Amino acid sequence: MVLFAHNSHRHKRAPVTLSSLFPAISQRRIATNGIELNIAEQGDTSAPLILLLHGFPESWYSWRHQFAPLANAGYHVVAPDMRGYGDSDKPDAIDGYNQVEVVNDIIGLIPALGYETAIVIGHDWGAPTAWSCALNHPDKVTAVGALSVPFSPRADVPPLDMLKVIFKDKFFYQLYFQEPGVGEAELEADVRVSLRKFYHMASGQMDVGLMPDKSADADLLSDLPDPNKMGPWLSDADLDFYVNEFTNSGFRGPLNYYRNHNLTWSLTEGAPTEIHQPALFVAGDRDGVIAMAALALENMPNHVKDLRTNALIPGAGHWTQQEAPEATNEFILDWLKAL
């Protein structure tokens, strides 16, 4: 069940989407880095701060199974809707979604919430953001965790240039997302079907043998299987929540993250290449990102110098903390206890 809470700002932005399934999670908007982010939070506001950063196409709600366990372990748990998502601000300019700006959003949340430091954990797009927070702000980030996307230092060549060489005449979703308006139109044509297909495609339930080889001019969704019913990790109520979020917010902001690969690369020349804070990495062994990033996963200990947890969860796909919440929580809680 999903509830809509309208407020005095309803004419300026979409309504906050609340889930009746998690009444202990509250939401508010916080100013940071020149915008406002909607945050979901649980736990003692004087306890140590953990920031949980979601990926594409998700929201704070992707961390729903982590709030209570982390709050009960003695943490103030905060998961923002990242810029462009949910009830957070959605800057118009495409270049406003480069990772330097996104990292500044998250680092700015720490003093805005009354803290000097935080532990930061990210999934999917939130993972490189979390890694970058630790890499570039070691005075603010005391420990860092990532799900699905391993750390790799800045590449020698612009990422989009590299992807165009690797995929040449083949379809690759990140290249497909580059033309403004194209991905938006396809994903927004039927938000429920789009999300259902995309979530299933990247989950542990997907039969990768059904994934077709596609030419560069193909679209994203038309030849993906529609599961009609998601796996047990995503209930009808969960899907309803996401459908309402993206029906309200659209996909322009989320897709703009992909359009800033090269700008982020140019803005981060001379960035450090080693992370020294205590670190955690967890992913599903059926995650397609892990298959693509096998070399980065292998090399990660060379760059993440205090990698205390480095684990793959059997049977889980890309949606790590949603598909395997118990295993994910166990890894995170054990890691936190040893800090």
Instruction: List residues with catalytic annotation.
Output: 124, 318
**Which letter does DSSP use for residue 154 in this model?**
P
**Residue given tokens 């406003």 in the structure block:** 96
What is the distance between the alpha carbons of residues 207 and 229, in angstroms, rounded to a whole number? 15
> Are the C-beta atoms of residues 41 and 77 closer than 8 Å to each other?
yes
Beta bridge partners of 230: none
Phi, psi dihedrals of residue 210, rounded to the nearest 5°: -85, -5
**Residue given tokens 């990660």 in the structure block:** 300
Q: How far is CA 112 from CA 13, 39, 49, 79, 258, in A?
A: 22, 12, 12, 14, 27
At position 64, the amino acid (one-letter code) is R
- Render the burial of 1-19: b for 16+ CB within 10 Å, e for the rest: ebeeeeeeeeeebbebbbb
> Are the C-beta atoms of residues 30 and 37 closer than 8 Å to each other?
yes
Beta bridge partners of 215: 170
What is the distance between the alpha carbons of residues 61 and 199, in angstroms, rounded to a whole number? 14
Q: Which two tokens stand for residue 256?
A: 């703009």
Query: HSE of 323 in the Cβ direction (CA atoms, 13 Å)?
Result: 27
- Helical H segments across the chain, by residue range: 67-72, 99-112, 126-136, 159-167, 173-176, 182-189, 191-201, 236-249, 252-256, 261-267, 288-292, 294-303, 320-323, 325-337
- Render the burial of 45-84: b for 16+ CB within 10 Å, e for the rest: eeebbbbbbbbbbbbbbbbbbbbbbbbebebbbbbbbbbb
